[in-house]
Amino acid sequence: MPAIDLANPTLFLRLVNRVLPWLIALTVVLFAIGLFRAVNAPDDYQQGATVKIMYLHVPAAWLGMMGWGLMSVAALGTLVWRHPLSDVAGKAAAPLGAAFTFICLVTGSLWGRPTWGTYWVWDARLTSMLVLLLLYLGVMALYWTAEDPGRGSRAAAILALVGAVNLPIIKFSVDWWNTLHQPASIMRMGGSAIDPSILWPLLIMAGAFTLLFFTLHLAAMRNEILRRRVRTMQLMQAQEAHA
Amino acid sequence: MNLGPHADFIIASYAVTLFVVAVLIAWVVLDYSTQRRTLGDLEARGITRRGRRKDQA
């Protein structure tokens, strides 16, 4: 099947129904391995057992940013090619990205208290991450409250593209400004600064969370396609009732 | 497993994450069953995306 055929909602639904059970199984297996490795990983020599919060916080931060990246690409599809599946992908990603950004902020706060002595500080990394959450809430409001879904989708797509400016700000905030947050220690020039005994559980947990994101995203896209079909049928019913 | 003096913070982090993920999964599953049910009701009444089926008109 040519890849372009997947842009057809009916074929896409068929593919999702086939792929979803495998994705769910793979996600569960990877979480089981990741959690086992995380529980049995050694404590950090400075932070002690609080390093276990990292196995949640870091993947959630990555996915919060990846969700917005995904929405930005989908926004291009909505605005340039006006493809309905792009719009469906963007709308389905928004609550997922918001949820992972929220997890990142809460776990970061809970990690910050024993490590830094404070739950929150208005430094560049934390503030730009909070801005990301507010942007997500803005996009969701545009999608869900617009009277005309088409106009709401276009407005949300524009906000998704404009908000993408925040992604490099989040990533490089620890290099550009003095922050309480530590600098990059995994993806950096010269390799990771983390010991493999802690790095591997983190990477497995990141893989598990990423699979969870895509599993939920495909399922949410399927729901959105069905919701649009319901809406079309209800409009047909209303038109016939008035005819 | 000894979580040390900051066990509350670690447990709270895992509990919040578990709760948010559970809410996301419940939202997706419940939304799917709602859409399927509504779609089924409309189809049972003969409504299609192109109008009412001829045999139901």
| Interface contact flag, B9 A114, Cβ < 8 Å | yes
The answer to whether the CB atoms of B6 and A56 lie below 8 A apart is no
Query: How high is the mean pLDDT of chain A?
Result: 90
Q: Rounded to two decimals, what is the model's pTM?
A: 0.91
Report CB contact under 8 Å: B10, A52.
yes
Asked if A236 and B49 come within 8 Å (Cβ–Cβ), the reply is yes
- With cut-offs at 50, 70 and 90, classify the pLDDT of residue B45: confident
Q: Under 8 Å CB-to-CB from B44, ≥6 apart: which residues?
A: none
Would you say the C-alpha torsion A152, A156, A159, A161 has a positive or negative sign? Answer: negative
Residue A96 has pLDDT above 50, yes or no: yes
- Please compute the mean of the pLDDT values over residues A234-239 and round it to a whole number: 84
Which of A46-60, A91-105, A142-156, A157-171 is predicted with the least confidence, judged by mean pLDDT? A142-156
Q: Is the pLDDT of residue B57 over 50?
A: no
Rounded distance between C-alpha atoms, residue A235 and residue A224, angstroms? 16
A113-160 confidence digits (pLDDT tens): 999 899 999 999 999 999 999 999 999 999 988 888 888 999 999 999
pLDDT band at A188 (very low <50, low <70, confident <90, very high): low
Per-residue pLDDT, A3: 57
Task: Give the model's pLDDT for residue A101.
Answer: 98
The helix/strand/coil state of B47 is: strand
Please write the tens of the pLDDT for every residue from A6-42.
678 888 999 999 999 999 999 999 999 999 999 999 8
Residue contact B6–A237, C-beta within 8 A: no
Whether A220 has its CB under 8 Å from any CB of chain B: the answer is yes
3-state secondary structure of B11: helix
Say yes or no to pLDDT of A105 above 60: yes
Half-sphere exposure of A117 (CA within 13 A, CB side): 1
Q: Which residues of B touch A (CB under 8 A)?
A: 1-7, 9-10, 12-14, 16-17, 20-21, 23-25, 27-29, 31-32, 35-36, 38-39, 42-43, 45, 47-52
Q: Which of A41-50, A111-120, A180-189 has the lowest mean pLDDT?
A: A180-189
The shortest C-alpha distance from B54 to chain A (Å) reads: 13
Residues 159-218 on A with a CB inside 8 Å of B are 212, 216
Contact A60 B17 (CB under 8 A): yes
Chain B residues inside the 8 Å CB shell of A110: 9-10, 12-13, 16
Task: Report phi then psi at A154, rounded to 5.
Answer: -65, -40
pLDDT (0 to 100) of residue A70: 97
